[in-house]
Structure 1
Amino acid sequence: MFRTALRNVLSHKARLLMTVLAVMLGVAFVSGTLVFTNTISQALQKSSAKGFDHVDVSIGPGYRPNEGESVTEQPKLTPEVLKKVESAPGAESAIGVVSGFTALADRNGKLIGGGFQSQGGNFWGKDDPRYPIRDGGRAPRGENEIAIDSQTAKRAGYKVGDTVRMSVDGPVLTPTVTGIFTTDDGNVAAGGSLALFDTATAQKLFHTEGEYDEIAVTAAAGTSQTQLRKAIDRILPEDTAVTTTGRQLADEQATQIAAEMSGLKNALLVFAGIALFVGTFIIANTFTMLVAQRTKELALLRAVGASRRQVTRSVLIEAFVVGMVAAVTGLAAGVGIGAGMRALIGTLGETVPEGPLVVSPGTVATALLVGVLITMVAAWLPGRRAARIPPVAAMSSVHAQATTKSLVVRNTIGALFSGAGVATVLYATTMDGSDGQAPMGFGAVLLIVGVFVLTPLLSRPLIAAAAPLMRVFGISGKLARQNSVRNPRRTAATASALMIGLTLITGMTVMAGSLQQSIARMAADAIKADYVVSMANGNMLSPDVEKKLAGTEGVTAVSPLRNAESRIGDETEYLTGVNGSAIGKLTDFPIDDGTFKIGGSDVVVDADTADRRGWKAGSEFTAAFQGGEKQRLTVAGVYESNELIRGILLDNATLTERLPAAADPADMMVMVKTSAGASDATKDRLEKALGENPAIKVQSGQDLSADIARMFTLMLNMLYGLLAMAVIVAVLGVINTLAMSVFERSQEIGMLRAIGLDRRGIKRMVRLESLVISLFGGVLGIGLGVFFGWAAGELIASRMPTYELVVPWARMAVFLLLAATVGILAALWPARRAAKLNMLAAIKSE
Structure 2
Amino acid sequence: MPIILKLVYRDFLRRRSLLTFALLAIMATCCLIVWFVASIDVSAFADDNGTSGFFGEYSLALAADRRFPEQIRAKIEKLETAEKVAYARQTSAKILLDGYDQALKPSGMGDRQYPFLLAISDDKPPFDLQHGQWPQNPLECVVGSAAAELHVAVPGETARRKVRLGDRLKVSTDQGDFLFTVTGLLKQQKREDFRGRVSGTFNFGFGIGIGGRQMGEGRRPTPDTPSVKVSQPEATSERFSRDSNGRADTRPSPPSRGPQSGPRRPGGRFARLEVSPTSPSVYILPSDLVKVCGREMPPNLVFVQLADGLQPSQFYRDLETACGATLAEMGIKTYDTTPKQQEGQVSQEQVIGQAWSTIGIVIVASVFIIFTTLSMGVSENIRFLSMLRTIGFTKGQVALYIILEGLALGLLGWLGGLFAGWLLLTILVFLQSGVIPLVTLSASSILFALGCSLAGAFLASLLPAWRATRIAPAESLVRDLHALSPRQLFWSGLTGSLLLLLIPVLVFWLPFATKTRLLLFTTAGTTLLAVGFLLFIPWTVAFSEKLLGRLLAAALGLPHLFLKQILTGNFWRTLGTTLALSIGLGLFTAIHIWGSSMLNMFWVPTTIPDVLVRFQEGVIGEFTADGLAQMPGILPESLLRVSVAQPNLRPDLQRRLAKGHAVSSSNIVLRGLDGDRAFRHDNPLLRLKFLAGNRDQAREAFTTPGARVCVIPETLAVHANLQVGDKIALEKSSRRPISPRLPPGQIAEPPPGTEYAEYTVVGIVDFAWVWLSKCAGVRVSSGGTGGLVFTPFAPLLEDFGALDGEFFWFDKKPTLTYAQISDYLRNLAREAARRNPLAAKVNSYAGGTRWDSGINRHFVLVNSNESLNNSLASRAFGVLDAMAKMPLVILVLATLAVINTMIVSVRTRAWEMGVLRACGVTRNCLLRLILAEALLIGICACVTSFCFGLFYSWLAISLVDYAPMFGVIAPPLTIPFAKLLPGYLIAIAVCALAGLFPAFRTSLRETSTLLQKHNT
Q: Matched residues in 2 for 1:721 and 1:342: separation?
A: 21
My pick for the range that moved more, 324-333 or 426-435, is 426-435
Residue 487 (structure 1) shift: 1.8
Counterpart of 1:81 in structure 2 is 72
Secondary structure in structure 2 of the residue aligned to 1:803: coil
Counterpart of 2:147 in structure 1 is 149
* Highest RCO, 1 vs 2 (Cα 8 Å, sep ≥ 6): 1
Counterpart of 2:569 in structure 1 is 486
Instruction: Give me the TM-score of the superposition, normalised by structure 2.
Output: 0.62
Matched-pair contact (CA < 8 Å) for 1:414–1:454: yes
Counterpart of 1:71 in structure 2 is none
Counterpart of 1:186 in structure 2 is 189
- Residues 316-335 of structure 1 show CA distances to partners (whole Å, capped at 9, x for unaligned) of 11111110111232233334
- The amino acid that maps onto 1:33 is F
Counterpart of 1:664 in structure 2 is none
My pick for the range that moved more, 280-289 or 189-198, is 189-198
Counterpart of 1:835 in structure 2 is 1003
> Cα 1:304–1:822, aligned 2, differ >3 Å: closer, same or farther?
same
- The amino acid that maps onto 2:24 is L
- The amino acid that maps onto 1:94 is V
Counterpart of 1:398 in structure 2 is 479
- Residues 484-509 of structure 1 show CA distances to partners (whole Å, capped at 9, x for unaligned) of 44323322332333334333322322
Residue 812 (structure 1) shift: 4.9
Q: 1:683 aligns with which of 805, 818, 822?
A: 822
Counterpart of 2:259 in structure 1 is none
Counterpart of 2:287 in structure 1 is none
**Aligned-pair identity (%):** 18
Question: Counterparts in 2 of 1:161-560, with a 5 A limit?
Answer: 182-187=185-190, 192-193=223-224, 200-201=237-238, 204-206=263-265, 215-217=302-304, 225=308, 237=321, 257=344, 259-338=346-425, 359-394=441-476, 396=477, 398=479, 408=487, 411-425=490-504, 428=507, 442-443=524-525, 446-447=528-529, 449-456=531-538, 458-465=540-547, 466-467=549-550, 469-471=552-554, 473-474=556-557, 478-521=561-604, 530-531=612-613, 545-548=616-619, 552=624, 554-555=627-628, 557=641
My pick for the range that moved more, 775-784 or 51-60, is 51-60
Q: 1:123 aligns with which of 111, 118, 123?
A: 118
Matched-pair contact (CA < 8 Å) for 2:54–2:189: no
Secondary structure in structure 1 of the residue aligned to 2:12: helix
Instruction: Give me the TM-score of the superposition, normalised by structure 1.
Output: 0.73
Q: Matched residues in 2 for 1:318 and 1:832: separation?
A: 29
Matched-pair contact (CA < 8 Å) for 2:376–2:572: no
Counterpart of 2:210 in structure 1 is none
Q: Matched residues in 1 for 2:895 and 2:145: separation?
A: 56
- Residues 75-127 of structure 1 show CA distances to partners (whole Å, capped at 9, x for unaligned) of x997643331224579786235799999x999799983377999987724577
Counterpart of 1:95 in structure 2 is 86
> Cα 1:503–1:232, aligned 2, differ >3 Å: closer, same or farther?
closer
Q: 2:975 aligns with which of 802, 807, 810?
A: 807
Residue 212 (structure 1) shift: 9.9
Counterpart of 1:634 in structure 2 is 757
Q: Matched residues in 2 for 1:491 and 1:116: separation?
A: 59
Q: Does 1:730 align with 2:894?
A: yes
Counterpart of 1:818 in structure 2 is 986
- The amino acid that maps onto 1:683 is S
Residue 520 (structure 1) shift: 0.9
Q: Does 1:769 align with 2:936?
A: no
Residue 722 (structure 1) shift: 0.8
- The amino acid that maps onto 2:420 is A
Matched-pair contact (CA < 8 Å) for 1:600–1:654: no
Question: Counterparts in 2 of 1:622-661, with a 5 A limit?
Answer: 631-638=754-761, 642-643=769-770, 644=773, 651=796
Q: Matched residues in 1 for 2:883 and 2:1010: separation?
A: 45
Residue 372 (structure 1) shift: 1.2
Matched-pair contact (CA < 8 Å) for 1:617–1:637: yes
Q: Matched residues in 2 for 1:481 and 1:569: separation?
A: 64
Counterpart of 1:69 in structure 2 is none
> Cα 1:757–1:610, aligned 2, differ >3 Å: closer, same or farther?
closer
- Residues 675-733 of structure 1 show CA distances to partners (whole Å, capped at 9, x for unaligned) of 97873222124456579999436432211111111122112211221111231133222
- The amino acid that maps onto 2:998 is P
Q: Matched residues in 2 for 1:198 and 1:126: separation?
A: 20
Q: Matched residues in 2 for 1:744 and 1:409: separation?
A: 24
Secondary structure in structure 2 of the residue aligned to 1:384: helix
> Cα 1:618–1:560, aligned 2, differ >3 Å: closer, same or farther?
closer
Q: Matched residues in 2 for 1:231 and 1:261: separation?
A: 27
Q: Matched residues in 2 for 1:357 and 1:687: separation?
A: 54
Q: Matched residues in 2 for 1:236 and 1:402: separation?
A: 80
Matched-pair contact (CA < 8 Å) for 2:613–2:807: yes
Q: Matched residues in 2 for 1:22 and 1:610: separation?
A: 52
Q: 1:745 aligns with which of 903, 909, 932?
A: 909
Counterpart of 1:55 in structure 2 is 57
Residue 287 (structure 1) shift: 0.8
> Cα 1:200–1:83, aligned 2, differ >3 Å: closer, same or farther?
farther
- The amino acid that maps onto 2:479 is V
> Cα 1:601–1:471, aligned 2, differ >3 Å: closer, same or farther?
closer
Matched-pair contact (CA < 8 Å) for 2:88–2:120: no
Counterpart of 2:203 in structure 1 is none
Q: Matched residues in 1 for 2:1012 and 2:391: separation?
A: 27
Secondary structure in structure 2 of the residue aligned to 1:520: coil
> Cα 1:295–1:610, aligned 2, differ >3 Å: closer, same or farther?
closer
> Cα 1:726–1:328, aligned 2, differ >3 Å: closer, same or farther?
same
Residue 655 (structure 1) shift: 5.9
Secondary structure in structure 2 of the residue aligned to 1:530: strand
Secondary structure in structure 1 of the residue aligned to 2:604: helix
> Cα 1:777–1:402, aligned 2, differ >3 Å: closer, same or farther?
closer
> Cα 1:463–1:56, aligned 2, differ >3 Å: closer, same or farther?
closer
Counterpart of 2:924 in structure 1 is 760
> Cα 1:597–1:26, aligned 2, differ >3 Å: closer, same or farther?
farther
Matched-pair contact (CA < 8 Å) for 1:604–1:636: yes
